[in-house]
Amino acid sequence: MSLDKILAISGKPGLYELKTQTRSGFLAESLLDGKRLSVSIRHNVSVLSEIAIYTFTEEVPLREIFKKIQEKENGEQAISHKESKNKLEAYFSEVLPDYDEDRVYVSDMKKVIHWYNILQAKGMNDFSEPEEDKASEEE
């Protein structure tokens, strides 16, 4: 499954899979407990494929960071997102050594690691780019 269908909804824990659109928003299913949720267009929703992390040279897409975590952990779970601030910063600097410490907060690191662990537990570990993106880049 592509990250284009995975959502983070502000104020709601975990990640959600986009199921269908409705007149007033859309229907999403929690990846944590499988409960369905009707989300209005007033909610602040982020699609994982659109999220990037700041480095000193560029913005790195979340998909690339997930790939790096996956390589570091050999496809297994990462450390807990509830680890101490120092452990999280050390882990994140191993994964993305040139991340911008002034613009990437510990709360961001927690989210990235938590999201990776949720996706990995659900077997959604194909973080390659969708084929249509590759085709448009070649043109």
pLDDT in tens, 47-101: 999 999 999 999 999 999 999 999 999 989 999 999 999 999 999 999 999 999 9
- Dihedral sign for Cα atoms in the order 55, 112, 12, 20: positive
- Please give the Cα distance from 3 to 52 (Å, whole number): 12
Q: How many Cβ atoms from other residues are within 10 Å of residue 129's Cβ?
A: 14
Band (130; pLDDT cuts 50, 70, 90)? low
Examine the pLDDT at 32 and tell me if it is beyond 80.
yes
Band (135; pLDDT cuts 50, 70, 90)? very low
Chain position carrying tokens 């907060």: 105
Band (134; pLDDT cuts 50, 70, 90)? very low
Over residues 105-126, the pLDDT tens digits come to 999 999 999 999 999 999 888 8
Question: CB of 112 within 8 A of CB of 70?
Answer: no
| Eight-state DSSP code of residue 101 | T
- Dihedral sign for Cα atoms in the order 75, 3, 88, 101: positive
The count of C-alpha atoms lying within 13 angstroms of the C-alpha of 35, restricted to the half-sphere facing its C-beta, is: 8
Examine the pLDDT at 25 and tell me if it is beyond 60.
yes
Examine the pLDDT at 136 and tell me if it is beyond 60.
no
> Which residue type sits at 54?
Y
**Which stretch of DSSP H or E encloses residue 18?**
strand 16-22
Residue 2 is predicted with a pLDDT of 79
> Which residue type sits at 9?
I
- Dihedral sign for Cα atoms in the order 50, 53, 55, 61: negative
Examine the pLDDT at 138 and tell me if it is beyond 60.
no
Q: Which two tokens stand for residue 35?
A: 């409960």
- pTM of the full structure: 0.87
